[in-house]
Chain A
Amino acid sequence: MRPFVYLSPSSLDECLKVLGELKDKAKIIAGGTDLVVNMRAETVNPEYVVDIERLRELRFIRIDDGNLRIGAATKIAQIEGSELVRQKAFALYQAASQVGAVQTRNLGTIAGNLASAVPSADMAPPLIAMDAELVVMSSGGQRSLKVEDLFAGPKATVLKPDEVITEVVIPGTSLNDRTWFLKLGRRKALTLAIVNVAVRLRMAEAVVREARVALGAVAPVPMRSRSAEEWLVGRPANAENFRIAAEKAAADSKPITDFRAGAEYRRKMVKVLTKRALSACVGEGEMA
């Protein structure tokens, strides 16, 4: 690990000011589970490292105006253990419980998992499926950004160097919907996804009214399968429609072959996981 200057601002305001001054000389650290690994490998070599882990302003899970708001520096383990998340955003709970292992979940944060922009990031598909937005701040002000629009490519985001994610907001409209997350890795724990899938369904009398199908690790960035979503909306929630939607999701995916899995296998698994996730959203008796 190359030398750098470590800064630990005591407030969010101070943090934004520091980032505004240092711009691309600085990297933000929260849990460090990605950054420290990359700095050790010397693939990322910042002059300054700005720590947001201790900023209390960034650590909370609460319902506010009907929306579920999660502070950026909230640990994945806290999300996994939150009864609120489990009740209101089940897929996010499922994803949180499958990130890395106990130790990395105790260190890693929700925004860190997103900002690292690894195509397989487990927090991305459920948040995309739930139309989550990010509050992004800099010394110049704040803006909101859909999670779906955060990613610019593998390990790249649209965030400017002086910007920091401060909050993840899941809109209240998604909180009563059925959601489900599934991950396929080479092992059951401590593994990156070969494919991960999150779905959200809103139903009325066994007919799908709104649908989201979000896929991870099968494209340069976490993505939505719009053709699967379009197929589902207005159609009865049944095995045949789920099968067709899953096929459309597989067709939309753009997987690559790497050491974890081949493209063809990934594509097949998109189909399997999407179908299973959709079916899991709907109880046996509720199928059309």
Chain B
Amino acid sequence: MTEASTHHIRFTLNGSEVSADVKANDTLLNVLREQLGYTGTKRGCETGECGACTVLVDGKAVNACLILAPKVDGRAIQTIEGLAKGAELHPLQKAFIEEGALQCGFCGPGMLMSAKALLDEIPNPTEDQVRRGISGNICRCTGYAKIVKAIMKASRQMARVGGEGA
């Protein structure tokens, strides 16, 4: 059997420079969870179907389970661990708590990262755009209605804060 090639990769993780030695057949999900200890990103299906492992690569929401680890060399990666600024929760996180947009919470990290990517691109989305934005994330406790409500609420709050600042 072929030996996997190994690669020394460097990337930014939630704004900090990190490096890792990875094997060709490692996925970004494994590197985050197993090597770097970032277990906030969840493993659900490993086939890009559930969205639990959603992270942002260069600002775009992607499935970490589908990305070969060597591919992220030089990229900027954001995970759920980087969403809050220290103790200050992101408006999305606050809205998820206030609206009860979580039950078992397992889809939460992926859902929040998809929502972040959406609001970064479309600050004032319609409900339909929100539903499209999270269409790659499955919730089985079926809190979709509350999740959509929470994202809409966060977008309104962010617009208000942004407006005040402007």
Q: Which residues of A contact B (CB under 8 A)?
A: 1-8, 29, 31-33, 36-37, 39-40, 47, 49, 51, 53, 77, 100-104, 106-107, 188-190
Least CB distance, A49 to chain B, in whole angstroms = 7
Within 8 A of A (CB), among B44-66: 46-49, 51, 54, 57, 60-63, 65-66
Using CB atoms, name the residue of chain B closest to A187.
B135
Q: Bound state CA distance, A6 and B4, in angstroms?
A: 8
B76 sits at the interface (CB 8 A): no
Contacts of B117 in A (CB 8 A): 102
Least CB distance, B60 to chain A, in whole angstroms = 4
Interface size of B in residues (CB-CB distance below 8 Å): 37
Asked whether, in the complex, the Cβ of A3 is within 8 Å of the Cβ of B1, the reply is yes
Q: Bound state CA distance, A100 and B138, in angstroms?
A: 13
Asked whether, in the complex, the Cβ of A101 is within 8 Å of the Cβ of B135, the reply is yes
Contacts of A33 in B (CB 8 A): 48, 63, 66
Using CB atoms, name the residue of chain B closest to A75.
B60
- Known contacts A102-B135, A104-B63, A189-B132; is-contact A32 B68 (Cβ 8 Å): yes
Asked whether, in the complex, the Cβ of B4 is within 8 Å of the Cβ of A4, the reply is yes
Asked whether, in the complex, the Cβ of A106 is within 8 Å of the Cβ of B61, the reply is yes
- Known contacts A101-B51, A102-B117, A189-B136; is-contact A3 B24 (Cβ 8 Å): yes
Contacts of A2 in B (CB 8 A): 1-2, 25
Q: List 7 A-B contacts (CB under 8 A).
A: A3-B23, A4-B4, A4-B5, A47-B2, A102-B117, A107-B66, A190-B135
Shortest Cβ-Cβ A-B pairs, 7 listed: A101-B136, A189-B135, A3-B4, A6-B24, A5-B5, A106-B60, A1-B25
Using CB atoms, name the residue of chain A closest to B135.
A189
Q: Bound state CA distance, A101 and B66, in angstroms?
A: 13
Asked whether, in the complex, the Cβ of A188 is within 8 Å of the Cβ of B135, the reply is yes
Asked whether, in the complex, the Cβ of A190 is within 8 Å of the Cβ of B4, the reply is no
B164 sits at the interface (CB 8 A): no
Asked whether, in the complex, the Cβ of A37 is within 8 Å of the Cβ of B25, the reply is no
Within 8 A of A (CB), among B20-51: 23-25, 27, 46-49, 51
Asked whether, in the complex, the Cβ of A107 is within 8 Å of the Cβ of B63, the reply is yes
Q: Bound state CA distance, A32 and B27, in angstroms?
A: 11
- Known contacts A6-B5, A102-B135, A106-B62; is-contact A53 B47 (Cβ 8 Å): no
B133 sits at the interface (CB 8 A): yes
Contacts of B62 in A (CB 8 A): 103, 106-107
* Contact pick for A103, options B5, B25, B114, CB 8 Å: B114
Contacts of A36 in B (CB 8 A): 27, 48, 65-68
Asked whether, in the complex, the Cβ of B70 is within 8 Å of the Cβ of A8, the reply is yes
Contacts of B54 in A (CB 8 A): 103
B71 sits at the interface (CB 8 A): yes
- Known contacts A102-B135, A103-B54; is-contact A5 B4 (Cβ 8 Å): yes
Contacts of B88 in A (CB 8 A): none
Asked whether, in the complex, the Cβ of A102 is within 8 Å of the Cβ of B136, the reply is yes
* Contact pick for B66, options A32, A51, A53, CB 8 Å: A32
B7 sits at the interface (CB 8 A): yes
Task: Identify 7 new A-B residue pairs, CB closer than 8 A, beyond the known A3-B23, A3-B24, A29-B68.
Answer: A36-B65, A36-B68, A101-B136, A101-B137, A103-B61, A104-B66, A190-B136
Q: Bound state CA distance, A3 and B69, in angstroms?
A: 13
Q: Bound state CA distance, A47 and B51, in angstroms?
A: 29
Least CB distance, A117 to chain B, in whole angstroms = 18
Q: Bound state CA distance, A3 and B24, in angstroms?
A: 7
Contacts of A1 in B (CB 8 A): 25, 27
Asked whether, in the complex, the Cβ of B25 is within 8 Å of the Cβ of A77, the reply is no
Contacts of A5 in B (CB 8 A): 2-5, 24
- Known contacts A106-B61, A106-B62; is-contact A40 B136 (Cβ 8 Å): no
Least CB distance, B151 to chain A, in whole angstroms = 13
Least CB distance, A245 to chain B, in whole angstroms = 32
Contacts of A40 in B (CB 8 A): 46-47
Q: Bound state CA distance, A32 and B63, in angstroms?
A: 10
